[in-house]
């Protein structure tokens, strides 16, 4: 197989140092759900909606800058990004590429025991760009709450804006192909060799400091990690429980979405947790609002269980990785269209087209989720030793077995320090709330499982999407089994 990868649009991107805003110019607008970081004047927006409904104003009058710029006191709404440092990053680094990479990759709404037609394919529209900008606003808010020096605040903002800048298309699913070379912390060093960051020196930040913060080093590295987690949890939860699919077809997904929605209802402003950050006398960050931290940690845990580590979603990731692996090499090769270098510049759509062309799939497919319009079934086994037996059972039934995976657990974050109201000291959450911490650990342990993915032997196989894709995967799986002496491929 020899497929020439087209030159990525962002490979030819060049900095625009002449891009300088006028005072107060808005670069972009972002919102952190369940917090005070938003760009709408809620009162004026509601008043305008009522006036439109009653006929007092015309539709063209409804879109007004009056309710997208300032609050009732004339203060700039925090979701309007106007800061010069944001403009500098936007002008000097290819941050905009992230607008074409989905934040949740191939994840989709699904129950754990069945797939519904409406839930196939990716449901979520928010991007890595909106995540990066929101994370920067959260980090900036933390720095202001802590009274950090301007230089440290700038360092945190820049690191937040850049922390995903080397993210490959389809995010974590692609990183798992070659984590050593494609992880953000490693890939960003390669990307930054191409760009000069001298324009940022006037803000008191250096490349070395930024990379250290992105890698989680020092106080700012810890603050970035917390800002990142709060940002993606709030946005992902908002999309997950607010998606129209979950409203139009009641009860189908309620078993997963309702426990998450109930937590949000308990405190609709839980993401204001970012303002509850404090520093101990030794300079270690902690939170002083245990209720909001509890909701945040439980939301993260339940999102891992319902979405991030849901075997249905992982199965779609697996199909994608199986298609991608034969096309990839860490270093450029004439016979491989993908490598650790050009993945720094590709978008979701560009990578989908390369994969479609390589495997002879429809060329008018704009999104790989349309190609992989079916997620495999799965059978769970107790441990790794039972995988081969399940493989044999399924094949004897005539099912097409794809591969096995060990779905690993996640870090619950219960080691995050929180103020103990009784002692007045900051302690790890698991010490202050041991029962709730134990509950969260149980959720994490429940996510750790071994599964075998397969396509069922359908009666209408001739017309199914599985039948159309099966010859491709038979070749891929056949090659993998041959290399492992007939054993089922196991991904970890």
Q: What is the pLDDT of residues 438-448, one digit of tens each?
A: 999 999 999 99
Give the number of C-alpha atoms closer than 13 A to the C-alpha of residue 371, restricted to the C-beta side.
Answer: 27
4 burial type by CB count under 10 A (0-12 exposed, 13-18 middle, 19+ buried): exposed
% the chain with pLDDT above 70:
82
26: closest CA among 93, 100, 86?
86
Residue 406 above 70 pLDDT?
yes
Model pLDDT, residue 377: 86
Contact 451/376 with Cβ under 8 angstroms? no
135: closest CA among 112, 101, 158?
158
Q: Kindly state the tokens that stand for 461.
A: 């196989």
Model pLDDT, residue 472: 86
Output 253 or 179, whichever has higher pLDDT.
179
DSSP state of 167: P
pLDDT in tens, 50-109: 766 677 665 555 555 556 667 767 777 778 888 899 999 999 999 999 999 988 887 777
Instruction: Give the least confident one: 39-48, 110-119, 303-312, 414-423.
Output: 110-119
d(CA 241, CA 260): 7
- pLDDT band (50, 70, 90) for residue 459: very low
d(CA 220, CA 212): 9
Model pLDDT, residue 81: 85
Q: Kindly state the tokens that stand for 182.
A: 């494609």
Q: Where are the alpha helices (DSSP H) in 147-272?
A: 150-162, 172-175, 179-182, 184-192, 207-214, 218-242, 245-248, 254-266
Q: Kindly state the tokens that stand for 164.
A: 């995903």
Block residue for tokens 């149980």:
442
Instruction: Give the least confident one: 121-130, 365-374, 461-470.
Output: 365-374
SS3 for 21?
coil
Model pLDDT, residue 121: 40
Model pLDDT, residue 366: 44
- pLDDT band (50, 70, 90) for residue 144: very high
pLDDT in tens, 199-240: 888 999 999 999 999 999 999 999 999 999 999 999 999 988
Model pLDDT, residue 386: 94
Residue 183 above 70 pLDDT?
yes
d(CA 239, CA 124): 7
CATH number of 25-40+77-491: 1.10.3210.10
Model pLDDT, residue 3: 64
- How far does CA 466 lie from the centroid of its chain? 28
Model pLDDT, residue 148: 96
Model pLDDT, residue 412: 97
**Mean per-residue pLDDT, 340-362:** 86
Model pLDDT, residue 117: 40
Model pLDDT, residue 82: 83
- pLDDT band (50, 70, 90) for residue 362: low
Model pLDDT, residue 2: 57
d(CA 415, CA 476): 42
403: closest CA among 372, 377, 370, 368?
377
173: closest CA among 306, 315, 32, 285?
315
Q: Kindly state the tokens that stand for 482.
A: 């041959």
**Mean per-residue pLDDT, 234-262:** 72
Model pLDDT, residue 247: 43
- Provide the phi-psi class of 424: left if phi over 0, else alpha when psi is between -120 and 50, else beta: left
* Domain coordinates in residue numbering, the chain: 25-40+77-491
Model pLDDT, residue 119: 44
- How many beta carbons lie within 10 A of that of residue 384, not counting itself? 12
- How far does CA 478 lie from the centroid of its chain? 32
% the chain with pLDDT above 90:
49
d(CA 400, CA 200): 54
d(CA 318, CA 339): 19
Residue 55's alpha-carbon distances to 3, 466, 472, in angstroms, are: 59, 53, 58
Mean pLDDT of the chain: 84
Q: Kindly state the tokens that stand for 471.
A: 């010859």
As a whole number of Å, the end-to-end CA separation of the chain is: 27
- How far does CA 111 lie from the centroid of its chain? 20
pLDDT in tens, 272-301: 999 999 999 888 999 999 999 999 999 999
pTM for the model: 0.89
Enclosing H/E stretch for 410: none
Residue 146 above 80 pLDDT?
yes
Block residue for tokens 């290399």:
483
Enclosing H/E stretch for 197: none
Model pLDDT, residue 22: 76
């Amino acid at each position: 197989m020899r497929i020439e990868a087209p030159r990525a649009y962002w490979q030819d991107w060049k900095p625009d140092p002449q891009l300088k805003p006028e005072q107060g110019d808005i670069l972009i607008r972002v919102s952190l759900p369940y917090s005070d970081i938003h760009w709408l004047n809620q009162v004026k927006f509601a008043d305008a909606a009522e006036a439109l409904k009653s006929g007092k104003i015309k539709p063209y009058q409804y879109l007004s800058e009056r309710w997208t710029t300032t609050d009732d006191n004339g203060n700039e709404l925090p979701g309007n990004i106007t800061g010069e440092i944001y403009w500098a990053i936007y002008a000097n680094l290819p941050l905009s590429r992230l607008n074409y990479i989905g934040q949740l990759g191939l994840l989709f709404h699904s129950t754990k025991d069945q797939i519904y037609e409406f839930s196939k394919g990716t449901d979520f529209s928010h991007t890595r760009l909106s995540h990066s900008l929101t994370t920067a606003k959260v980090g900036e808010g933390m720095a202001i709450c802590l009274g950090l020096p301007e230089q440290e605040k700038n360092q945190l903002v820049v690191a937040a804006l850049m922390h995903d800048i080397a993210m490959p298309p389809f995010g974590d699913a692609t990183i798992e192909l070659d984590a050593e070379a494609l992880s953000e912390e490693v890939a960003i060093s390669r990307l930054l060799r191409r760009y000069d960051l001298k324009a940022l020196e006037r803000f008191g930040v250096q490349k070395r400091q930024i990379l250290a913060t992105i890698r989680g080093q020092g106080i700012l590295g810890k603050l970035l990690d917390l800002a990142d987690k709060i940002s993606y949890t709030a946005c992902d939860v908002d999309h997950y429980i607010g998606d129209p699919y979950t409203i139009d077809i009641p009860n189908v997904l309620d078993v997963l979405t309702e426990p998450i929605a109930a937590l949000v209802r308990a405190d609709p402003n839980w993401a204001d947790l970012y303002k509850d950050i404090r520093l101990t006398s030794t300079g270690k960050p902690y939170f002083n609002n245990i209720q909001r931290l509890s909701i945040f940690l439980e939301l993260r845990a339940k999102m891992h269980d319902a979405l991030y580590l849901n075997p249905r979603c992982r199965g779609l990731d697996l199909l994608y990785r199986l298609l991608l692996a034969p096309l990839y090499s860490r270093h450029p090769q004439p016979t491989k269209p993908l490598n650790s270098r050009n993945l720094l510049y590709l978008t979701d759509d560009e990578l989908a087209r390369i994969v479609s062309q390589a495997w002879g799939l429809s060329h008018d497919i704009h999104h790989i989720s349309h190609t992989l319009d079916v997620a495999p079934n799965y059978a769970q086994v107790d441990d790794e030793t039972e995988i081969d037996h399940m493989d044999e059972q399924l094949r004897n039934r005539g099912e097409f077995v794809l591969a096995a995976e060990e779905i690993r657990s996640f870090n619950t974050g219960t080691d995050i320090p929180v103020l103990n109201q009784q002692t007045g000291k900051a302690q790890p959450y698991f010490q202050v709330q041991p029962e709730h911490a134990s509950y969260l650990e149980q959720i994490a342990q429940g996510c750790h499982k071994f599964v075998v993915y397969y396509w069922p032997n359908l009666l209408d196989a001739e017309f199914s999407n599985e039948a159309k894709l099966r010859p491709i995967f038979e070749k891929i799986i056949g090659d993998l089994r041959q290399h492992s002496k007939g054993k089922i491929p196991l991904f970890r």
